[in-house]
Structure 1
Amino acid sequence: MKCGPCPSGTFACDNGTVCVPRRQVCDDRRDCADGQDEHPVECGMFHGSNELLLKIVYRMNQTNGRNDEEDSSSMCDIKTYPNVCACVRRSMLTCSNAGFLKLPPISTEVTYLHLVGNNLTLRKDSFQGFNLVYLNLRSNNISTLPSGIFSGLSRLQKLFLGFNRIHKLPTGVFKGLSSLNWLFINSNGLHKFSLRALKELNNLHWLNLSQNHLLLKNEEFPQLENLVELTLDHNDIVEVSESLFLQLSELQLLRLTKNPLKTLSGQAFTNMKSLEALYLGETQVTIDRNLLGTTNVSYLNLHGIGFNNIDFQVVGNIPALQYVVYDKFYFCSMTPHIQKCKPNSDGVSSFEDLLSKPVLRYSAWLMAGLTFFGNILVLWGRFIYRDENRAVTMVIRNLAVSDILMGFYLSVIGIQDARYRSRYHEVALDWITSWSCAAAGVLAVTSSEVSMLILAFMSLERFLLIADPFGGHRRLNSRNVCFCLLSIWLVGGTIAVAPVILWRSSTRFYGAYSGTCFPLHIQERYPVGWEYSAFLFLGLNLFLLIMIALLYTALLFSIWRTRSKTPLAMLDCEFAVRFFFIVLTDMSCWAPIITMKIWAFMSYDISDDTYAWLVVFILPLNSAVNPLLYTFTTPKYRNQVLLRGWHKFTSRRRTEGSGNSNPGKEQSKHSLTLKVALVLSKQ
C-alpha cells in the first residue's frame, strides 16, 4: 500500500489516503482503517456466493423481526401442538424431522411455523384458520399443492417450499397471499409453471426459482412493482425473450447462472432502471455491446465465461461497475480500473506472479535441485563403475533419466516465474496457450508416467525372480530389457502427447486450469479433457500404484518366509526398510493426487492451495527420492561410490548364515532363493 494517487489495479480508501491492491479486497484481513475493503455486504456480493443469503435467512428465522425483549421470553401462547414440537417466543413453533405424514393438530395462535424434514401430504384446507406470518415447508417430500391452499393466509410474509418434489404448480395456488415478501420454490424439479400465477403477489420482494427445470419459453413475468431480487439459477433456460422481464421495472438483482443460455438480448434489460447486480456466469452467452450496452450495473458475475466470449472494453465502459467476477484471475488485467475484481489467484498463480507464494518458488527450485543432483549422481555412478548385471543397470539409468525430466519441468516453471515476476497478468493468457506451456506439460507427464511404468516393471521382475525362482523365470538379458524400456518410453510419450493431438485446434489443454501446465484438473468435475485426466490418474496410475504395493508386499512376505531358518536379522531389517520406503514414497506421491481426483468427481471443493502443493511438491516427490531408494541405499553402490565396507560385511554375514544351515532339498531351495535376493539387494 502507498499514499497518494492510486495506480491502476488498486482502489482508494480512508478518504483517499491509502491505496489497497485489488488482491487484498475481501481477503478476511482489514487493510483499511474504515474497513471499506472488508465490508460484509459488499464482500458477500463480491464473492458471488450464497453465504450472505444464508446469513440473512438464518437471522430472519431466528428473530422473525421481534425485539430483544420478546426474543428472550420463553412463554408460549399456542394452546395445542404435538410434544415433538418446540414452542418459543410465544407464537413460534418448530416441528422439524418429526416424521409427520400430514399437518399435525396445531391451534391457530401460531404465527411462525417451521415444519421441515417430514413427509407431508397437504390438503386444500390444511392451513385454514391460521394467522401465519412465516411458513417453512422445506424438505417435506411434497409432490402437489392444491389450488387455493394458501388463500386464507393474508398476513403471510415468507413462504419456503424448497427441496420438495413439486413438478407442477396449479393455477391459483398463490391466491390470497397479498402480503407475501419472500417466495422460495427452489430445488423442486419444477417443469411447468405459468408466471401468471404470480400476478396477485403485489408485495413480493424476493423470488427464488433456482434448481428446477424451467424453460420460460414464451413466458412473461407479470407486473411486480416491488420485486427487487429474482433468482433463476440452475434451470433449463435456453433463450430469454425481450418481454420476459419487461414489467419488472424495480428489479435490482437478477441471477441466471448455470443455464444453457444461448440467446439473450440487451433489450431484455431496457426497462430495468434499478438493476444493480447481474449474474450471467456459466452460461453460453456472448458478453458484448448488444447485451450490456443498456445496463449500468454495479456488480457483474461472468464466472465460467471464456476469454474470447467477453468484450472487455464493453465491460470496462459500464459507468457504475464496481465489482466483477471473471473465470480466471488474469481477466482482471483487461479491466484494470474496476475497483474490485475476482478471482485474484488460482491458488498457484496470482495477479503478479506465476508462483504466487515464496514458499512455492522455493519448493519448486528445491525439488528441481534434489531431482537433478540425485539422478545425475546415479547416472555418474552407473556409468563410471562396471556392473556385471547390465540389464538392471540399464533400467536404473532409464529411471534416472525419466526423473531428470521432472527436474527440467520444475526448472521451466521456475524460470517462467522469475521471467514474469510482478507482471504475470500481462502475459498469463499468452503463456498458458503457448507451445512452451504445452511442451512443459508433456515433459512432466512423460516423466511421471515413464517413471511409474519403470517402477512397476522393476517390481514385477523382482517379484518373479525372488518369490518364484523355480518357476521358469530367468534374469532379463540386455536385449529384452532394451525392448521393454523402449516400449515404456513409447507408451509414456504417447500418453503425454495424446492431448495435444486430440485437442490439436489449440494448445490450451495443458494450461487450461493453471500456469503450471499440468493436467490435474481437480477444480471441476467435467472440464475439457476430463476423460484423459481420469484415465491417467484414476485408471493407469491407480492400477500401477496398487500393483507396486501388492508386489512389494508379496515380495517381502516371500523373503521373510525364506529366511525364517537363517540368522540374517540385519539384512531382513534392511530389506524391510527399503521395501517399506519404496511403497511409502509411491503412496505419498500418487495417493493424494488420486484422492483429490476422486473428491473432484464427488463434487467436493478442493482448495487452490492444495492444487499448488500437489503440483510443486507432491508430484516431484518420487523423482527426488527414487535415487535414494534404488541406488544410494544398495550395498553395492555404497561400497563402490561411497567407499564403505558394507559389501564385505554383508558377504561375511551371508557366509556365516550358509554355514549354519542344515543340508537337505528344502533347505537348498531356501538358500538358492536367499542368494537371488541378496544379489538383487546389491543392485
Structure 2
Amino acid sequence: MDETDCGLCRTAQFQCPNGRCIPQAQVCDSVCDCQPSCGDERANCADYYEGLPGLAVCRKRKSIACNKSNRCIRQEFICDGSDDCQDGGTDEFQCHTSPSASVTFSNLSTVTTGFRCSDGRYLPVHTKCDLQRHCLLGEDERVCRLSPCSANQSTCLSGECIDSALLCNGVPDCRDNSDELNCLEYECPPDKFKCATSGQCVNQAKVCDFNIDCTLDSSDEPDNCTYKHTPCDILEFRCDNGQCISSEYRCRVSVDSLKHGCLDESHIKDCGGVQCDGVQWLKCRNGPCYHVSLQCNGLPDCYKASRTWTDEEGCPFQCASAAKCVCMDVTMECRDTGLTALPEYVEPSITKYRLSGNRLNHTLSVRSFEGLHRLTLLDLSANDIMELPNGRPFATLWQLRVLVLRKNGISRLRKELFYGLANVRVLDLAENYIEIVEERAFTGLSSLPQLDLSRQLISHLPAASFLGLRSLLSLNLSGNPLQYFDVDTFLGLPQLVTLDLSSSVHWNAVRFTGEAFRHLPALTHLYTSDARLCCSIGGKVPHCYPKLDHFSSCSDLMSNRILRTSIWLMGTIAVVANAVVIVWRLPGVRRSRIHAFLIINLAVGDIIMGVYLLIIAGADLHYRGTYIFYYDVWKSSGWCKAAGVFSTVSSELSIFTLLLITLDRLLTILLPFHIDLRLSYASARIAVLLLWISVWTIALIPLLPLPYFQNFYGRSGVCLALHITPDRSPGWEYAVFIFLGLNMLACVLIILSYAGMYGVALRTHRAVEPSPQKSRQEARLARRMVLIVLTSLACYLPLSIMSLLALAGVSMPEEVSPRPSLQIKCKN
C-alpha cells in the first residue's frame, strides 16, 4: 500500500512529498493521507477547517463534515459523483434527485422524507436539528430549539452540551469536534499532562509509556524517557519508539505478539522479505508471518502490517444479524436460506447483497435498503414479491449497478419505483407477471442501456411510461398482449436504437401509426408481429420486420412491375401454347405413339402452371393499391390454396415426366435389342397414372388439418411452397424434401442419363469409318446433349441453390427473390 498510486499524478490528483498520488478532495480534509509528512494538510487548510487533523471543525460555507470519517469535504467536491467522504456517500447523498430547482426546508414529505440543502443534496429529515451541521450553509441547524447547559457542562459550537471534564482530552465528544479547539488556552487538571503543540490533556500514566498520545509533537514521549537511554539485550529488538522486545516477535503476528510486541507496531514493519514455514506461520502478502490460528478468525490481522486481508481471503464471516447469511469479502450471501424478512443489521461496507430464493414477499418496505449506500449488486429474485413497496425503495442505492428482480410475482411497476438508481446498468425483470406500468415508472434509470419486459402481461402503456431512460439503446416488449399505447408512450428515449414488439402488438388490436415513434429519433430497428404494422408507419423506421414477403409491397401483391407484366404474359402463353401442343399431338396418341402421349402430359402440366400464374395475376389486379388491407384474407383464401396446389402439381409433374422420357430414351440407346425393357403404350399409361396420383398427393397433403402445416401455401403472397427464405415457416422441412430433395435427385438422374446416352452415341459413331461428315454429326450431337443438360440445370439448379442458401440462413436480395415464380415455369 505504501507504493499505491505512485508516479506521475493525474490532473485531479495531488502528489504527496513521498510520491504517492491522492485525490484532490483529500487535500485539506483534516485527515492525514500523506503519511508520515501530512503534506496534504498544509497551512492554508485553515480556510476549510479549524483545529487539528482528525479533530477538526469544518468551516461553515467552506466544507461539510462527513458522518463517519471525520473528513471535511470542500464545496467543489460535493455532488461530484465520487464518494470523497469514504463513508458510503455523505457528500453524494441524493444529489439532484428532484427535477424542481429547490425544496423548502419545512417540506418533510416522503422518500424520503427530507429537505434540500443549497449544496444540492437531499437529506433525510432526521438530520435536521441534530446538533451537527450537514448542509454547507448550515440550513439544517437553523431555527432549532436548544436547551441551556448546566453548570458542570460546556457548550459546543453546535449548541450541544457535554461534561466539562471532557474538554481537550484528545477525543471528540462534541458531534462537531469543537471540544478539541483552542486547547492551548485550556488549563489541564493536575493529574493530566499537557501536549506542547496542541494543548490536549493526556493522563500522566501515558507519559513515557512507549505510545505517542500527543500526535502532533510526541511531547508525551520526550527524550528524557528512561527507556530511550537503556540498551536492548542481544536477543531483543528495539522498536521505533525505543521499546525493547524479544526478537522472537519480530515480523510475526500472533496473539502473543500483540501483547508483547512493539506498542507502535514497528516490529511488523519492513517484513516483505521474511520467509514463513507455511505450516504454523503463513505469509501476509508483502508483510510479516501470521500464526495459522488467526486465519479466518473474522479479524483482518494482516491489515495493519501489509494493508492486505490475506488471512481473511476466502473466509466466510458474520456481517449481518441473520445467522443464516454468510459474507465473503464484500459479498453477502443469503440465497435459499428461508428468510422471511431482511436482517435487521447489515454491514454497511457490503457491495453485493444476494437474497434470491427466500420468502420476502410482503416484508419489504421503503426503508429496507437505507444505509447500504455501497451496494453495487442487489439480487431479490425468486422471493414471491407480489408488489414492491410504494414510494422509492431504492432511492439511497446511488452506486447500484445490477438489480435482479426476476422470478417474482410482480404485477405492477409504480411511478418512480426505480428513482435514485442513476448508475444501474442491468435491470432483470424476467419471469414476472407485470400487468401495469405506471407513467414515469422507470424514472431514475438514466444509465440503463437495455430493458427487457418480454413475456409479461402488459396490455396498456400510458404516456411517459419510459421517461428517464435517456441512455436506453434496446427495449424488448415482445410477447405481451398489448392493446393500446399512447402516442407519447415512448417519450424520453432519445437514444433508443432497437424496439422489439414481436408477438405483442397485433394488427386488429391496436392503432399503430408512425406518430407513435416521433419521440424516437435514433430508432433504426423495429420488430413487430405483423408485416402490415411496418406498412402502417409509412417507412419512418429504416429497418422494420417482418417484411410482407419478397414478392409483395404494402400496396400491391406483385411489387415488381416487370414481374407483374411477365406473369400475365407467361400465364397466357402457357395456356394457349400448350393447348396448341395438345391439339397437335392428339393424332399421335390415337396411333399409340408413346412419345406424343408423354408430351401431352407435359403440356397439361404446363397449362396447370399457366392457370396458377393467371390466378396470381388476377389476385394482384383485384387487390391493386389495397393489398395491405386484404393481406390475411388473400393468403388464407381457397384461391391461394388452389394456386399453391396447381404450382406444386405442375412443377412435380413436369420434372418427373421429363425423367420418365429420359429413362426411356436411355434404355433405348443402351439396350437397343431388349425391346421388352422399353415403355409400351400400356405401361406408359400406367406410369403416367401413378405419376398423376403421386403429384396430386404431394400437393394436397399440406391441406390436411395438421398443426405442422398450418397455412402452408399462404406463407407468401404468391402462394408458392418453395423454401427460399431463411425463415423457418410451418412445413418448411416438407418443402425442402420435395423441391430440394426429390427435384434435385431427378435433375441429377436426367443429367447422368444424357451423359450416358452421349457416350454410347459417340462410341457408335467412331465404330464406323471416320469421315469429316461423321465428325460434324458428332459435334451436332454433342451440342444437342449439352443444350438439353444446360436447359435442365437452368430451370432447377437456381431453385436448388436458393433453397440451400435459405437453409444456411442467407437472405436473397429483394431484386432476386421474385424470380422463383418465373423459374418454376421453366420446362424442357
| Band the TM-score falls in, shorter-chain normalisation | 0.5 to 0.7
Of the three residues 400, 408, 421, the one matched with 1:225 is: 421
The whole-number CA distance in structure 2 between the counterparts of 1:405 and 1:446 is 8
1:544 aligned partner: 746
Check conservation: 2:659, 2:750, Cα contact below 8 A. yes
Summarize the Cα distance change of 1:203–1:474 in structure 2 as closer, same or farther, 3 Å threshold.
same
1:431 aligned partner: 634
Aligned-pair distance for 1:318?
5.0
1:572 aligned partner: 778
TM alignment of 1:133-532, pairs within 5 A: 196=379, 216-218=406-408, 225-226=421-422, 239=432, 249-250=445-446, 254=450, 256=452, 261=455, 263=457, 272-275=466-469, 283-289=478-484, 295-296=489-490, 301-302=499-500, 304-305=502-503, 311-313=509-511, 325-332=527-534, 342=544, 346-384=549-587, 390-470=593-673, 473-503=676-706, 508-512=711-715, 514-532=716-734
Of the three residues 800, 803, 807, the one matched with 1:594 is: 800
The whole-number CA distance in structure 2 between the counterparts of 1:171 and 1:445 is 68
Do residues 618 (structure 1) and 813 (structure 2) align? no
1:608 aligned partner: 814
Q: Which moved more, 1:600-609 or 1:552-561?
A: 600-609
Q: Which moved more, 1:264-273 or 1:590-599?
A: 264-273
Summarize the Cα distance change of 1:242–1:331 in structure 2 as closer, same or farther, 3 Å threshold.
closer
Q: Larger C-alpha radius of gyration, 1 or 2?
A: 2
1:536 maps to a residue whose letter is I
Q: Which moved more, 1:578-587 or 1:436-445?
A: 578-587
What per-residue deviation string (whole Å, max 9, x for no partner) do you get for residues 569-590 of structure 1?
4543443333322221221222
Check conservation: 1:196, 1:222, Cα contact below 8 A. no
The whole-number CA distance in structure 2 between the counterparts of 1:218 and 1:171 is 26
Higher relative CO (Cα under 8 Å, sequence separation at least 6) belongs to 1
Summarize the Cα distance change of 1:506–1:592 in structure 2 as closer, same or farther, 3 Å threshold.
closer
The whole-number CA distance in structure 1 between the counterparts of 2:801 and 2:689 is 31
1:272 maps to a residue whose letter is F
The whole-number CA distance in structure 1 between the counterparts of 2:501 and 2:611 is 34
Aligned-pair distance for 1:475?
2.8
What per-residue deviation string (whole Å, max 9, x for no partner) do you get for residues 355-393 of structure 1?
112121123233324433542332232125678552221
Check conservation: 1:313, 1:335, Cα contact below 8 A. no
Check conservation: 2:663, 2:753, Cα contact below 8 A. yes
Aligned-pair distance for 1:485?
0.6
The whole-number CA distance in structure 2 between the counterparts of 1:312 and 1:252 is 28
Summarize the Cα distance change of 1:574–1:403 in structure 2 as closer, same or farther, 3 Å threshold.
farther
What per-residue deviation string (whole Å, max 9, x for no partner) do you get for residues 172-212 of structure 1?
69xx9x9xxxxxxxxxxxxxx97649x9996899x9x9xxx
Do residues 553 (structure 1) and 755 (structure 2) align? yes
Do residues 563 (structure 1) and 765 (structure 2) align? yes
Structure number with the higher helix fraction is 1
Aligned-pair distance for 1:295?
3.6
The whole-number CA distance in structure 2 between the counterparts of 1:456 and 1:215 is 63
Q: Is the partner of 1:352 in helix, strand or coil?
A: coil
Check conservation: 1:348, 1:609, Cα contact below 8 A. no
2:756 maps to a residue whose letter is A
2:634 maps to a residue whose letter is W
2:62 aligned partner: none
1:274 maps to a residue whose letter is G
Q: 5+ unaligned residues in a row in structure 1: which ranges?
A: 1-124, 126-147, 149-169, 179-192, 627-683
2:751 maps to a residue whose letter is A
TM alignment of 1:38-77, pairs within 5 A: none
Q: Is the partner of 1:610 in helix, strand or coil?
A: coil
Check conservation: 1:229, 1:252, Cα contact below 8 A. yes
The whole-number CA distance in structure 1 between the counterparts of 2:405 and 2:820 is 41
1:312 maps to a residue whose letter is V
The whole-number CA distance in structure 2 between the counterparts of 1:527 and 1:353 is 22
What per-residue deviation string (whole Å, max 9, x for no partner) do you get for residues 297-319 of structure 1?
57784565388586223778958
Summarize the Cα distance change of 1:253–1:560 in structure 2 as closer, same or farther, 3 Å threshold.
same
Summarize the Cα distance change of 1:308–1:265 in structure 2 as closer, same or farther, 3 Å threshold.
closer
1:680 aligned partner: none
- Percent of aligned pairs with the same amino acid: 26
Aligned-pair distance for 1:240?
6.1
1:677 aligned partner: none
The whole-number CA distance in structure 1 between the counterparts of 2:734 and 2:477 is 23
The whole-number CA distance in structure 2 between the counterparts of 1:478 and 1:266 is 71
Aligned-pair distance for 1:486?
1.0
Aligned-pair distance for 1:437?
0.8
Summarize the Cα distance change of 1:471–1:362 in structure 2 as closer, same or farther, 3 Å threshold.
same
Summarize the Cα distance change of 1:288–1:596 in structure 2 as closer, same or farther, 3 Å threshold.
same
Aligned-pair distance for 1:447?
0.5
Check conservation: 2:397, 2:421, Cα contact below 8 A. no
Check conservation: 1:241, 1:265, Cα contact below 8 A. no
The whole-number CA distance in structure 2 between the counterparts of 1:282 and 1:247 is 18
Check conservation: 2:594, 2:680, Cα contact below 8 A. yes
Check conservation: 1:364, 1:410, Cα contact below 8 A. yes
1:610 maps to a residue whose letter is V
Aligned-pair distance for 1:217?
2.9
Summarize the Cα distance change of 1:520–1:563 in structure 2 as closer, same or farther, 3 Å threshold.
same
The whole-number CA distance in structure 2 between the counterparts of 1:420 and 1:242 is 39
The whole-number CA distance in structure 1 between the counterparts of 2:708 and 2:588 is 49
Check conservation: 1:391, 1:478, Cα contact below 8 A. yes
What per-residue deviation string (whole Å, max 9, x for no partner) do you get for residues 320-369 of structure 1?
57776535543346667989894675331111211112121123233324
The whole-number CA distance in structure 1 between the counterparts of 2:578 and 2:619 is 23
- Alignment length (residue pairs): 428
What per-residue deviation string (whole Å, max 9, x for no partner) do you get for residues 12-59 of structure 1?
xxxxxxxxxxxxxxxxxxxxxxxxxxxxxxxxxxxxxxxxxxxxxxxx
Check conservation: 2:408, 2:431, Cα contact below 8 A. no
Aligned-pair distance for 1:607?
2.2
The whole-number CA distance in structure 1 between the counterparts of 2:606 and 2:397 is 68
The whole-number CA distance in structure 2 between the counterparts of 1:545 and 1:451 is 11
The whole-number CA distance in structure 2 between the counterparts of 1:275 and 1:405 is 58
Check conservation: 2:571, 2:613, Cα contact below 8 A. yes
Summarize the Cα distance change of 1:479–1:367 in structure 2 as closer, same or farther, 3 Å threshold.
same
Summarize the Cα distance change of 1:475–1:521 in structure 2 as closer, same or farther, 3 Å threshold.
closer
